[in-house]
């Protein structure tokens, strides 16, 4: 019985963590794609997507993601140092077609969305885990160029 209780608790914690990551991902996409003027609108939109949120949780998410209200609209803050949003960021070359990005636990999905939003021509795609993002590039030359750009962006 104790084993089943522990397993249920573990699965519940994993579900909550995934929900936060998914919520951050969806929230970043919403803000990037739409002109959203209020937290109440964000709460309604996230609830329609099936997320259980309050204005307080959305406010905290906005701060964690570096999303700010400017000129009456919520936006990803491209001027804010990204290391402060995603925690310390490290970028490591792996093979000739991969850069491994590390960030604060629970923020890899949001980090990947941010990387995708940069629209760097060298990056062909990203895959996010909990605190790690695999950044795929076309070849070794693209890898070096993307690595330089990302290091400049994130101060690694």
Q: What is the pTM of this model?
A: 0.52
Mean pLDDT, range 131-137, rounded to an integer: 95
Q: What is the mean pLDDT of the chain?
A: 81
Q: What is the pLDDT of residues 25-81, one digit of tens each?
A: 888 888 877 889 999 999 999 999 889 999 999 998 888 887 888 889 988 765 444
> From CA 144, how far away is CA 147, in angstroms rounded?
5
The gap from C-alpha 15 to its chain's centroid, in whole angstroms, comes to: 17
CATH code given to domain 2-76: 1.10.10.10
Give the pLDDT confidence score for residue 9 in this predicted structure. Answer: 38
Q: Where are the domains of the chain?
A: 2-76, 83-154
At a CB cut-off of 8 Å and minimum separation 6, what does 153 contact? Answer: 82, 118
Q: Is 155's pLDDT higher than 80?
A: no
Q: Let me know if domain 83-154 sits in CATH 3.30.1360.40.
A: yes
């Amino acid at each position: 019985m104790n084993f089943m209780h522990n397993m249920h608790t573990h699965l519940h914690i994993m579900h909550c963590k995934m929900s936060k990551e998914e919520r951050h991902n969806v929230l970043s996409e919403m803000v990037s794609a739409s002109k959203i003027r209020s937290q109440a609108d964000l709460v309604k939109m996230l609830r329609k997507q099936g997320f259980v949120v309050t204005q307080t949780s959305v406010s905290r998410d906005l701060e964690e993601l570096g999303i700010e209200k400017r000129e009456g609209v919520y936006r990803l803050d491209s001027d804010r140092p990204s290391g402060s949003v995603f925690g310390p960021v490290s970028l490591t070359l792996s093979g000739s077609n991969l850069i491994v990005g590390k960030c604060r636990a629970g923020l890899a999905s949001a980090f990947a969305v941010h990387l995708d939003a940069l629209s760097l021509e060298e990056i062909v795609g990203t895959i996010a885990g909990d605190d790690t993002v695999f950044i795929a590039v076309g070849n070794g030359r693209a890898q070096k160029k993307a690595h330089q750009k990302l290091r400049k962006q994130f101060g690694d």
